[in-house]
Amino acid sequence: MKTVVVETENCISCGLCISTCPAVFRFDSSGKSECFDPAGAPEAEIQSAIDGCPVQCIRWA
């Protein structure tokens, strides 16, 4: 299974990934996005969150 990486140093905390895919992404304790369940949604839904990130800080690993 692919895993998802959020480069938190580049995250602007816009919340788009969370609103697109709330079963996979959430804010961490510092207010940055994190992937807490890479199996929480189909890959196509996760890809939509990746594609929608305005700073492109989410990627497949």
Residue 52 lies in domain: 4-60
- pLDDT of res. 2: 84
pLDDT along the chain (61 residues), means of 10: 93 98 98 97 97 98 93
* Longest CA span, the chain: 28
| pTM for this predicted structure | 0.94
Distance separating the N- and C-terminal Cα atoms of the chain: 10
Q: Beta-strand (E) ranges in 1-61?
A: 4-6, 25-27, 33-35, 58-60
How many domains does one find in the chain? 1
| Residue count of the chain | 61
User: What values do phi and psi take at 23, rounded to 5?
Assistant: -80, -5
Which CATH number belongs to the domain containing residue 18 in this structure? 3.30.70.20
